[in-house]
Structure 1
Amino acid sequence: MSDRKLYLGPLTDNRRWDKFVARPDDVYVVTPPKCGTTWMQTIVALLFSGDPDVEPELSVKMPWIDIRIREMDEVADRLEAMPHRRSVKSHTPMDGLPYREDGQYLLVFRHPLDAHFSYRKHVRNIPVKGFELFYPEDEDNEVIFRRFLDGGAEGFDMDAMPLAHILQHYKAALALADRPNVSLFHYADMTRDLAGTMAKVAQLLGISHPPDVMSALVSAATFDNMKTHAERYAPSGGKGFMKSDSDFFHSGTSGKWQGKLTSDQLRAYDVAMDSALDPAARGWLEYGSGGGTNQ
């Protein structure tokens, strides 16, 4: 992987991609955590199948390549045996992935503060140790937020998803945004216009379904339906991996940080964002095509 940046954290290892054998029509869902990964994967699964009642089984059928939990040889063999079109996921920034000129890369982003507060809930719902430094059991807001702002983009810090890692994802995505097979999506836009999002993804993937089928697929991909049927749609749902499959889909809303951060914390966040991004780039990362509101 000499031409790629190394992302090696407690949970993830992007060197695992060296054992991935790509196909020209593969679909790559690439996001920071808690930014709409499962939502976009579900959209892809629904479009692939054309069946609103499909069992996505995302952890098995659309695996997270980078995570160390499963042996990569087993993951690679399972993917190689699939006779149908495939999709995989990654939480590694694009500069750490083996970019190809074929396939489709679907990159999803969310307001960094929304992603942060969603991640706070997430680490309480999974049986994975090692987050105590960033997310202490007493949920000390000052400590948690300071480490969100101070954490590094790579190495030990990256799996705790500090702001620097989100920004690294975004900058690496922007560097490839002019490629015809790299598309950026925003959680807020998906919330505002799910039908439009799914139509765009279908077009990118070269998939067409009759209007009545698309309408049923859009209904299946709504947040309320996914939460109601969390055992079907949550990663490893129905297998007891998480404390609560339903809590994986916590609220699906934006503006989670409002009323939860002090004015000093918000100023520190603003300084970090303004030093990293120009106003237009910051506006999109936070609010998508809405530009400057969370509505």
Structure 2
Amino acid sequence: MPRKLYLGPLTDNRRWDKFSARADDIYVVTPPKCGTTWMQTIVALLLSGDPEVEPELSIKMPWIDIRIREMEDVVGRLEAMTHRRAVKSHTPLDGLPYRKDGQFICVFRHPLDAHFSFRKHVRNVPVGGFELFYPEDDTTGIAFRRFLDGGAEGFDMDAMPLAHILRHYEAALALKDQPNVSLFHYADMSADLAGTMARVADLLGISHSADLMARLVKAATFDNMKAHADRFAPSGGKGFFKSDSAFFESGASGKWEGVLSQAEIAAYDAAMDSALKKDTRRWLEFGQGA
């Protein structure tokens, strides 16, 4: 099946054409602010077996789609790696060169939590262009309206509208029965981090002693990552973000409660109900614990 084209202000999924895959590659594929860095950190910890590992995610587990880095440089670093590789993508699976080998790990989060986390995120990045979707002084509720009416691809997609999250989810569901495609949920990761890491380890064929796994789990907790944000944030310690710690602003759920009006919630519910069946909507919002 031909790949869909995803071109946005930050995203160009044609960059994958220059990527030479290896059979044991790991692909972390998520919408933004849904647990990407968390899952990458889990993978880094499991691969290294070192609770003190320096993840250096932007370099060691690069975001393939983003235009900011020259693809030739990214490819050069990946080709030089002699260890097992992992890469990141914010492009839906139908825009990636899916393969029968490798492991594709897809992570999702309640769309409203992701949206409110993204609102904070755009204030912390030195990248312009988000003002149309996320004005500094949003007195009219334009950010949420753009979230609901934005398109899944093109100019809108890098501002992470609901349609883009749904496209990610639909593309992952279409491949969920493949043995190398796995869906994870942020809420489940929060509720049972040890269980999540055991599942990822099993998928990757990695085994560590119980004592070491406990130490790796502790290193992967949200509190530890936030406390050592210069180490765990993408490009942490390099001055890319205004605040590395603010990258881990809050791992809480229910961010929209008491913020959105009843009319806004009703509009969101209508959009979700028209796109998803009841059980698939419930999982996207709440995970297995729903």
Q: Give me the TM-score of the superposition, normalised by structure 2.
A: 0.99
Whole-angstrom CA distance in 2 between matches of 1:99 and 1:225: 33
Specify whether residues 184 and 243 from structure 1 end up closer, same or farther in structure 2 by C-alpha distance, changes over 3 A only: same
Number of equivalences: 290
Counterpart residue number, 1:188? 187
Structure 2 letter corresponding to 1:149: L
Whole-angstrom CA distance in 2 between matches of 1:245 and 1:73: 27
Q: Does residue 1:246 correspond to 2:206, yes or no?
A: no
SS of 1:156's partner is helix
Counterpart residue number, 1:154? 153
Whole-angstrom CA distance in 1 between matches of 2:234 and 2:75: 19
Q: CA deviation at 1:60?
A: 0.2
Q: CA deviation at 1:3?
A: 1.3
SS of 2:207's partner is coil
Q: CA deviation at 1:10?
A: 0.2
Q: CA deviation at 1:141?
A: 5.6
Whole-angstrom CA distance in 2 between matches of 1:126 and 1:45: 24
SS of 2:125's partner is coil
Whole-angstrom CA distance in 2 between matches of 1:184 and 1:166: 14
Q: Does residue 1:118 correspond to 2:127, yes or no?
A: no
Q: CA deviation at 1:140?
A: 3.4
Structure 1 letter corresponding to 2:233: A
Specify whether residues 37 and 141 from structure 1 end up closer, same or farther in structure 2 by C-alpha distance, changes over 3 A only: farther
Please give the residue correspondences for 1:1-295 in structure 2 after superposition, counting only pairs within 5 Å. Answer: 3-140=2-139, 142-291=141-290
Whole-angstrom CA distance in 2 between matches of 1:213 and 1:187: 23
Q: Deviations over 1:220-246 (max 9, x none)?
A: 000000000000000000000000000
Whole-angstrom CA distance in 1 between matches of 2:53 and 2:135: 38
Whole-angstrom CA distance in 2 between matches of 1:286 and 1:235: 26
What are the ranges of 5 or more consecutive residues in structure 2 without an aligned counterpart? none
Whole-angstrom CA distance in 2 between matches of 1:4 and 1:172: 11
Q: Deviations over 1:105-148 (max 9, x none)?
A: 00000000000000000000000000010001213361100000
Q: 140-149 vs 206-215, which deviates more?
A: 140-149
Find runs of 4+ consecutive structure 1 residues off by over 6 angstroms.
none
Whole-angstrom CA distance in 2 between matches of 1:25 and 1:243: 35
CA RMSD between the two structures: 0.7
Whole-angstrom CA distance in 1 between matches of 2:198 and 2:160: 30
Whole-angstrom CA distance in 2 between matches of 1:220 and 1:241: 23
Structure 2 letter corresponding to 1:43: I
What are the ranges of 5 or more consecutive residues in structure 1 without an aligned counterpart? none
